Every structure is written in structure tokens, then in C-alpha cells.
Amino acid sequence: MNKVKVLGIDFDNYSLSEFKNEFISRLNNHLSTMIVTANPEIVMAANQDHEFMEIIQRDADYVTADGIGIVLAGKMQNTPIAERVTGYDLFTWFLHVANLRGMKVYLIGAKPEVITATEARIAQDYPNIKVVGAQDGYFKDDLNTVAQKIELTKPDMVFAAIGFPRQEKLIAIMRRDNLPAMMMGVGGSFDVFSG
């Protein structure tokens, strides 16, 4: 296994292009896949929250180093990590892939006006994507109910922007259900993408 442990988290030591090859292969095989792009805030929070740490260490299929500090820490302990791989970069690349393949995408998170603008930009820039759900991140339902609702739409990809650790907790439910989708928490990406 090509892993590098930094602050208790096993990061996958792949370059961006190696990650992309992995993800394409899993998409081709319709495998349930959970990606965590772990930034320093997530790493710190996981060290304080056992459930969050378990999700990252056991449920996630891939953990990327989303911070130059994590890459530097790997170097300092003589176990270099190939490069920084951010959630935003992966998100826009996945949209590109989904557009090429006419895939079904579910978006959850951010404020109502942000999710509306995100959907509008996808319709304009990635016209072949079928958005099977776009809901804001300020819901009252519990995460199990939300997960079931998402699963019913049979998405190929799910992007959750409801802040950590909730977005990872939501995705872990669907990963445990073996939903055959590419799933990733994307933090503030919808705000950036739509802004």
C-alpha cells in the first residue's frame, strides 16, 4: 500500500494524474468510492473526534493531502507525499468527466442561492451532466434520511458541501450502503465555483 501517515492519517501517496487513473478505473467498474481531501483543519478535527477519524481511516477509499503543510510534514518525516491534491481541483475535473460521459450528479450543500447558481453554471458549462438532485445544506432532516433520498436518485457522483465532519459522515453512510457512486466532500467549493 502506498500510504504515508501524517498526524494519524494515512494519506494516499499518488500524484494528481495517478489519482485520476484510479478514479476513472473505479468509475468504469461502478465501484462505491469515498474520497476525503484532507486539509489541515480536517486533520486537526479528526484527531479530536474519534468517529471522524474512523471514517477517514476506515470508510474512505482515498485520502488526499489537501494542504501544502501536510506535504511538507511528509517530507520532514522522510516519507514524502507526491503532491497537494485539492477538493476543488478534483471537483471540477469530475464535472469534466461527468460531462463527457453524460453522468448523473447529485449536489448537496451551501446556501440556497449558491446551490442554485452552482446548478446554473453546470447547466451552462457542462450541458451533458444530468443533475439528479441539488439541495442546499441547511436542512433539518437527519443524515440517514438525506442519504436515502440521495440513493434513490441513483447518482454516478455525489458532491457534498455541508462542512466537515458532516459531509464525510453523510458520505460514509452511502459508502457503507455500497452506493455505486463517486462521492466526495467538497467544503466551500460550491461557493467558489458559483462566485
Number of CB atoms found within 10 A of residue 149's CB: 15
Relative to beta strand 62-65, strand 33-38 is parallel
Q: Answer yes or no: are the C-beta atoms of 126 and 100 closer than 8 Å.
A: no
Binder of ligand UDP out of 111, 121, 130, 176 (CB under 6 A) = 111
- Please state, in angstroms and rounded to a whole number, the distance separating the CA atoms of residues 112 and 13: 36
Contact 164, 189 (CB under 8 A): no
CB 187 within 8 A of CB 159: no
Contact in structure between 169 and 147 (CB atoms under 8 Å):
no
Q: Which is nearer to ligand UDP, 62 or 190 (CB)?
A: 190
162 sits near ligand UDP (criterion: CB under 6 A) = yes
CB nearer to ligand UDP: give 13 or 167.
167
Total residues at the site for ligand UDP (CB under 6 A)?
Answer: 13
State yes or no: residue 40 binds ligand UDP (CB under 6 A).
no
Among 137, 147, 159, 168, binds ligand UDP (CB under 6 A): 137
Contact between 161 and ligand UDP (CB under 6 A)? yes
Q: Does 190 bind ligand UDP (CB under 6 A)?
A: yes
Residues lying near ligand UDP in the complex (CB under 6 A) are found at 109-111, 137-138, 161-164, 187-188, 190-191
